[in-house]
Amino acid sequence: MDYKLLNKINLPDDLKKLSYNELDLLAEEIRDLIIKTVSKTGGHLASSLGAVESTIALYRVFSIPYDKVVWDVGHQAYSHKILTGRAKEFHTLRQLNGISGFLKISESKYDIFGAGHSSTSISAAMGFAKARDLRKEKNYIVAVIGDASVSNGLALEAINHIGQNKTDILIYVIDNEMSISPTVGALSEYFNKILTGNIYNKIRDLTKFILDRIPKFGYPVASVIKHLEEGIKGIFSPGILFEELGFKFYGPINGHNIKLIEETLNKIKDIKGPKILHVYTKKGKGYLPAEKNPTLFHGVGPFDLETGNLLNDSSKITYSEVFSEILLKEAKRNKKIVAIVAAMLEGTNLSKFKEEFPERFFDVGIAEEHAVTFAAGLATEGFKPFVAIYSTFIQRSVDQIIHDVSLQKLPVVFSFDRAGLVGEDGATHHGIFDIVFMKMIPDMVVIAPSDANELKRAVITAARYNKGPVSIRFPRGKIFQYGKEDRLILPFKIGKARLLKKGKDLTIINLGHLLPYVSKAVASIENYKNLKIEIIDARFAKPIDKNLILNSVKKTKKVITIEEGILEGGFGHSVNALLKNSGLKNFSILNLGIQNKFIEHGTMEELRKRCGLNEEGIKEAIFKILKTG
Ligand SMILES: Cc1ncc(C[n+]2csc(CCOP(=O)(O)OP(=O)(O)O)c2C)c(N)n1
């Protein structure tokens, strides 16, 4: 690492020794390191590039970790990592055993609060602030949050709490007018009005209007005018919405001007009570391809440094593409189908749906709880909502799924993209809990298709099922196809599994997208052992196909279940209970899945290997169970 200034920064306090000219140069060096690293490792580039100057200024004004700067999401905090002693390790970003792409409390004493999911920083900051007050300490507390994340319910609940408690906290809003795509929602429009100066213009025009009508007489009148002007400004203060909620509002200021940010922070940090500083930045700042296409460079795979072209393999289509295509087809048939996303238009691949049916498409912003209850309302009125969401982010909405959807047997469909291990984003983003929490909910049908054709059939099934809610999970990445695709896509019979291959020595019950590994493992073992292994593709985690499973296990007496989800309370455990309750004796069973622990970051292949969920792991399990009884 050959950086003149960065090499001198071991810890944030070293920043305080540099001049403003040197700081600008340092910002360039940090950007260079981030861009070069992410071009190789992939990662969250555009937001991190936009937050470099903010990080420098914050860490010059505040003494971290004594003062608490709490980062939201954590995807913009690469410069935080670099400036808190991890510059030399930064090349290991998001790699197995390397540093995490998000804030992680176990990684560094400077990562004071873990993140990955959005909109947690203000609540956590309130916790830090109350702890400070109870301990009668004096440290500063800052929550750093983006303009999209601030509109989430969790953030607004915290604002509600802080405003009333008049707690000493600074909320530092980084406004780049972007979520992953351009920010949506009334709050974002409000920030936008502040940024574009519409509110300032209103003040200026109104003031001018009044002043023009007052004759210009000497001092007393001038003083009245001055008061008037201030009064008018008070009414139209840019952050009046927040001021009414008990916050002092400062800004907007340029978030790429270190000196200005620093001076502003120094001016406001000792003002008592809740404060907001509104800072505007450019997403992707300093790397032209990212500035031009901040959505693409929000979270990106490896790319060519010169051109910004992605290096990924675009030859095969993804599960998200299959999902969105079949949904679009079905939506043409059924006008009641509507699609709802929570700030993940690109991720869920629903742009075409939005274009084709703008009135039947809703992006509610980062508002997963609202997305679900909103869908419930629509379903009550006879619509057929598809809530398209990443498995990890739906975790926020379990109560809404139970209380607003399932309890009322509403036919809402939940399509969980990025289900299972997701790779480099790591522990905060793996979608490994959904089988368990969906399975536990009464009346919920839980489908886990095992290939592209099955995903299409699952979508059709869910679209035409009106007795209650359905969830469908599918993984990140390219599709797999077992055998040929059907020419005619037909719905499943609810709870009916498919028998993929007959056998007599062992039953493997596959749930979901690990089927390619299962079929390879079975093929390679049968090649050199004289074995016949039966493969059942469960399709449904709930209801399960009791007959097919029981008949198979009666015959083989040995069974392996496999799923890419937490084992505790998962699909395998349903099979265990079924076999136990059936009174069947003398059988052995092995459940493959994810042990009850959090899985770190690494490539999908590395992580599956670690969890025993690849071809090798399945072969080992087969050998193990064959040795029993
Ligand atoms: C609960 C949750 N929903 C969705 C996401 C996916 N996500 C990550 S960053 C992001 C946009 C954040 O925008 P903003 O807060 O404005 O920060 P910026 O990236 O623009 O700096 C989204 C939707 C998430 N991390 N957490």
HEC sequence for 526-547: HHHCCCCEEEEECCEEECCCHH
SS3 for 323?
helix
Question: Residue of the nearest CA to atom 19 in ligand 1?
Answer: 47
Whether 102 lines ligand 1, by a CB cut-off of 6 Å, is no
**Which H helix or E strand runs over 560?**
strand 558-566
Whether 279 lines ligand 1, by a CB cut-off of 6 Å, is no
Please identify which residue in the block is written with the tokens 């703008």: 358
How far is residue 221's CA from residue 210's CA, in Å, rounded to a whole number?
13
Of 510, 416, 411, the closest CA to residue 461 belongs to 411
Whether 178 lines ligand 1, by a CB cut-off of 6 Å, is yes
Ligand 1 center from residue 201 Cα (angstroms): 31
Predicted confidence at residue 530, as pLDDT, reads: 87
- Helix, strand, coil shares, percent, the chain, to 5: 45, 15, 40
How far is residue 547's CA from residue 36's CA, in Å, rounded to a whole number?
56
Predicted confidence at residue 224, as pLDDT, reads: 62
Taking only the tens place, the pLDDT of each residue in 479-497 is: 999 999 999 999 999 999 9
Residue 145 Cα: closest atom of ligand 1: 15
How far is residue 280's CA from residue 293's CA, in Å, rounded to a whole number?
18
Predicted confidence at residue 229, as pLDDT, reads: 58
- Written as six digits, the tokens of 167 are 């707690």
Q: Is 502 exposed, middle or buried (0-12, 13-18, 19+ CB in 10 A)?
A: exposed
Whether 601 lines ligand 1, by a CB cut-off of 6 Å, is no
- The single residue of 86, 132, 396, 456 carrying the catalytic annotation is 396
Whether 176 lines ligand 1, by a CB cut-off of 6 Å, is yes
**What is the average per-residue pLDDT within 557-575?**
98
- The single residue of 68, 104, 283, 384 carrying the catalytic annotation is 283
Of 251, 259, 258, the closest CA to residue 280 belongs to 251
Question: Residue of the nearest CA to atom 13 in ligand 1?
Answer: 179
Annotated catalytic, 396? yes
Predicted confidence at residue 230, as pLDDT, reads: 57
**Which H helix or E strand runs over 89?**
none
Taking only the tens place, the pLDDT of each residue in 351-377 is: 999 999 999 999 999 999 999 999 999
Whether 375 lines ligand 1, by a CB cut-off of 6 Å, is no
Query: Strands (DSSP E) along 72-128, which ranges?
Result: none
Ligand 1 center from residue 281 Cα (angstroms): 16
Predicted confidence at residue 212, as pLDDT, reads: 72
Instruction: Give pTM, 2 decimals.
Output: 0.94
Ligand 1 center from residue 398 Cα (angstroms): 20
pLDDT at 531 over 60: yes
Q: Which of 61-65, 107-111, 310-314, 621-625 has the lowest mean pLDDT?
A: 310-314
C-alpha pair distances (Å), 308 with each of 52, 182, 298, 563: 20, 21, 13, 37
Query: What rounded mean pLDDT belongs to the chain?
Result: 94
Residue 396 Cα: closest atom of ligand 1: 1
Whether 343 lines ligand 1, by a CB cut-off of 6 Å, is yes
Annotated catalytic, 368? yes
**What is the average per-residue pLDDT within 417-442?**
98
C-alpha pair distances (Å), 113 with each of 107, 108, 117, 360: 11, 10, 12, 38
DSSP assignment, residue 183? Answer: -
Ligand 1 center from residue 246 Cα (angstroms): 26
The ranges assigned to domains in the chain are: 6-197+238-292, 319-473, 498-627
Annotated catalytic, 457? no
DSSP assignment, residue 614? Answer: S
Ligand 1 center from residue 116 Cα (angstroms): 9
- Written as six digits, the tokens of 265 are 């922070």
Query: What's the distance, CA 608 to chain centroid?
Result: 21
Per CATH, which fold does 498-627 belong to? Rossmann fold (3.40.50)
Q: Does domain 6-197+238-292 have CATH number 3.10.105.10?
A: no
- Are the C-beta atoms of 378 and 337 separated by less than 8 Å? no
How far is residue 435's CA from residue 468's CA, in Å, rounded to a whole number?
17
SS3 for 518?
helix
- Residue 566, strand partner residues: 594
Whether 155 lines ligand 1, by a CB cut-off of 6 Å, is no
Whether 290 lines ligand 1, by a CB cut-off of 6 Å, is no
Taking only the tens place, the pLDDT of each residue in 138-173 is: 999 999 999 999 999 999 999 999 999 999 999 999
Whether 73 lines ligand 1, by a CB cut-off of 6 Å, is yes
Ligand 1 center from residue 84 Cα (angstroms): 23
- How many residues are present in the chain? 629
How far is residue 120's CA from residue 71's CA, in Å, rounded to a whole number?
9
- Residue 447, strand partner residues: 472, 540
Predicted confidence at residue 440, as pLDDT, reads: 98
- To the nearest 10 degrees (0 to 180), the angle between helices 186-195 and 198-212 is 60
pLDDT at 234 over 60: no
- The single residue of 262, 368, 454, 534 carrying the catalytic annotation is 368
How far is residue 132's CA from residue 420's CA, in Å, rounded to a whole number?
39
How far is residue 79's CA from residue 60's CA, in Å, rounded to a whole number?
13
Percent of the chain predicted with pLDDT > 70? 94
Taking only the tens place, the pLDDT of each residue in 172-226 is: 999 999 999 988 999 989 998 888 876 666 666 666 676 677 665 555 565 666 6
SS3 for 387?
strand
pLDDT at 76 over 70: yes
- Written as six digits, the tokens of 252 are 């907007």
**CATH number for the segment(s) 319-473:** 3.40.50.970
- Written as six digits, the tokens of 64 are 């971290």
Q: Which of 205-209, 474-478, 500-504 has the lowest mean pLDDT?
A: 205-209
- Are the C-beta atoms of 290 and 46 separated by less than 8 Å? yes
Query: Strands (DSSP E) along 72-118, which ranges?
Result: none
Predicted confidence at residue 628, as pLDDT, reads: 83
Query: What's the distance, CA 615 to chain centroid?
Result: 29
Residue 116 Cα: closest atom of ligand 1: 25
Predicted confidence at residue 193, as pLDDT, reads: 87
Do the domains 6-197+238-292 and 498-627 sit in the same CATH topology, yes or no? Answer: yes
How far is residue 39's CA from residue 311's CA, in Å, rounded to a whole number?
9
Question: Residue of the nearest CA to atom 4 in ligand 1?
Answer: 366
Ligand 1 center from residue 71 Cα (angstroms): 12
**Which H helix or E strand runs over 81?**
helix 78-81
Ligand 1 center from residue 268 Cα (angstroms): 27
Whether 147 lines ligand 1, by a CB cut-off of 6 Å, is yes
- Are the C-beta atoms of 441 and 435 separated by less than 8 Å? no
How far is residue 314's CA from residue 300's CA, in Å, rounded to a whole number?
14
Percent of the chain predicted with pLDDT > 90? 89
